[in-house]
Amino acid sequence: RCITLDKEYLLDIVKRKEEIEADFIAGEYRKKFYITAPNETIADPKLFGVESFQPENQFNPELVTKNPNC
């Protein structure tokens, strides 16, 4: 099942991650995943099917140009 997220909602959740007490926020988009804290002491990369996080896995809010969907 595919859903579309409101861009502002997604960016608000990421901005408020401290307030909602999230260690990290991660999501998948077009067979790639993005994480707000690609730190292996916080999140195990194996949960995402990789041995280690790469720079391209870092969530970058400036790259969200429209409402993301699958």
Q: Which residues pair with 33 in a beta bridge?
A: 28
Distance CA 1, CA 13 (A): 22
Q: Bigger pLDDT: 2 or 10?
A: 10
Which single residue is written with the structure tokens 């409101």?
A: 6
pLDDT surpassing 70 at residue 51: yes
Mean pLDDT of all residues belonging to the chain: 84
Our measurement of the distance from residue 57's CA atom to the centroid of its chain's CA atoms, rounded to an integer in Å, reads 8
pLDDT given for residue 30 in this prediction: 74
Does this model's pTM top 0.75? My answer is no
Average confidence (pLDDT) over 8-20: 86
